[in-house]
Amino acid sequence: MKIITKFWIGLAVLIILSPIGLILPEHFKAGSAWGEWGADEMQKLAGYVPNGLKRLSILWNAPMPDYAVKGWEEKGLLYLIFAYIISAIVGIGLIVLVAMGIGRLLSKKEF
């Protein structure tokens, strides 16, 4: 089996496993996944919001907040699992397209 085939199989496995970060905290009633806190959750957990987080939270809004399609947050765990998988596929697809574009640009230039 070629190494590129192993790579894509590994990526597919990781995509399928991506909802574990959603399922385990739900199962153990642990709240949100570690390190995925927004400014409001940081305020509750630590009692303050670091200045850098305040500044960046104003500048950046995620295209798919909480890795879910808008309106799916209230529909249940199965919808959120499906949304996590969609989010992983979209994210990996964008990274592959950007990497291929950069590779194409660099391969055309002579050094």
pLDDT confidence band for 37 (50 / 70 / 90): confident
Domain boundaries, the chain: 3-36+64-108
> What is the number of other CB atoms lying within 10 angstroms of the CB of residue 36?
12
| Contact of 60 with 38, CB cutoff 8 Å | no
- Which residues 6+ apart lie within 8 Å of 85 measured at CB? 15, 16, 18, 19
Residue 74's identity, in one-letter code, is E
Query: Quick one: average pLDDT of 29-52?
Result: 82
Phi, psi (5° rounding) for residue 33? -65, 150
- CA 54 vs. chain centroid, Å, equals 20
State how far the Cα of 84 lies from the Cα of 97, in Å rounded to an integer.
Answer: 20
Q: What is the pLDDT of residue 10?
A: 95
> Does pTM top 0.85 for this prediction?
no
Binning pLDDT at 50, 70 and 90, where does residue 60 land? confident
Task: Identify residue 39 by its one-letter amino acid code.
Answer: A
Q: Quote the mean pLDDT of the chain.
A: 86
What pLDDT does residue 111 have? Answer: 55
Q: Where are the alpha helices (DSSP H) in 31-76?
A: 39-46, 51-59
